Amino acid sequence: MRALRILLIVVVVLAGVFIAVDRAAVYFAESEAADRVVVPGARTGSTDVSIKGFPFVTQVAGSELDEVDVKVTGIEATAGGRALRISSMEAELHQVRLTDGFSGATAARASGTAVISYEDLTKAAADGVVVEYGGDGKVKVTGTVALPVVGRTVSRSVLSTVTLVDGHTVRVHADKVPGEGIPGLEGLVREKTDFEREVGSLPNGLKLEKIQPTADGLEISVTGADVRLAG
């Protein structure tokens, strides 16, 4: 009985050591991966990486990780002279193959969410335009319009629908523009409130699927296959 008890203690201690070593290896790998994951337009140090699954060392030995979660903040993309900033993006990456002597990695499939804040959407709109949440899945767009016929300016707010065009362009289009009987007013308002901006700088293999305005910003569903992470 004494020998069995000692054996059990040794097994428990060795298991504890293995777990500690495995977790330490994960921590080191996450830190290294965060420095190596390259997202065009993202600044250095803006990426967090979390490696899932246990044990980690056996996954590395097989050159494939079960799941890697990635969060990136502040991805800049310039289109049409305006910078459209993706405020944050979180993605779950599955079956991540390690390549090129562990200097590169490719995920078989990915899913996640990108968020564009209303502050960043406002910066991407025309000068003097403010974009905010309008409720019920709409955005509220407010702009000042110059009326040359009467020689004055007016401020107008409209509720707009946001759609995703061709899987890479965000379109903001007013549902209705109050004309108030002034000739040409609708066209002038739409010149300010309606706009399209391309979302670029996503890693190769990721694509945008669906967009939905929420109180916290525009939420965009992201999916992908054979997503290149680094290397």
Give every residue of the chain whose pLDDT is below 70, as ranges: 1-45, 53-62, 77-83, 100-103, 146-151, 179-183, 200-201, 230-231
Cβ burial of 152 (10 Å; 0-12, 13-18, 19+) is exposed
Rounded-to-integer distance, Cα 149 and Cα 103, Å: 64
Q: Residue 10 has what pLDDT? A: 47
Question: β-strand 195-198 against 138-147: which pairing, if any?
Answer: unpaired
Output the average pLDDT for the chain: 75
Query: Is the pTM here over 0.85, yes or no?
Result: no
Cβ burial of 174 (10 Å; 0-12, 13-18, 19+) is buried
Which residues make beta-bridge pairs with 73? 88
pLDDT digits (tens, 9 = 90+) for 14-58: 444 445 554 555 555 656 555 556 665 556 557 777 777 666 666
